[in-house]
Amino acid sequence: MLNRKEEKDPGGLADGSVIGFCLPQGYRDPAGVWHREGRLRPALVREEIRAQADFRVYLRPESFLNIMLAQVVLRLGHLEKVDVGIVERLPAEDRALLQRLYREMNGYLPEELQ
């Protein structure tokens, strides 16, 4: 299980805690447009608790981070709403980058130290 520091202040997003990223490969939408740049915000503890109670996590525990990424990715290219399906269709290299950023931003230990 991941080790979490403390909950971020939900009103604290104006403090610069939203970060930008650029995916190595990106997501190609049905129209053929590539989306690589986006913005990521910190997760709230209540969002993580809700995600842990999601039936998809019960069936496939590895889906937890995909569910969380769908909630905290504010934008990907021109897409303003990123759902779990989009996160799951990202190349492994892109998902690994987002998962690393998520862990760092939310105060988790690096994966190799767990």
Domain boundaries, the chain: 37-74+90-108
pTM of the predicted model over 0.75:
yes
Task: List, as one string, the DSSP characters of the chain.
Answer: -PPP--PPPGGGGGGTT-EEEEEEEEEE-TTS-EEEEEEE-PPPHHHHHHHHTSHHHHH-GGGHHHHHHHHHEEEETTBS---HHHHHHS-HHHHHHHHHHHHHHTTPPPGGG-
Q: What is the pLDDT of residue 5?
A: 40
Q: What is the pLDDT of residue 1?
A: 38
Closest CA to 24 of 34, 16, 33, 15: 34
Profile the chain (114 residues) by mean pLDDT over runs of 10 residues.
40 66 96 96 93 93 94 94 95 96 87 54
Q: What is the pLDDT of residue 80?
A: 85
Q: What is the pLDDT of residue 19?
A: 94
Q: What is the pLDDT of residue 33?
A: 96
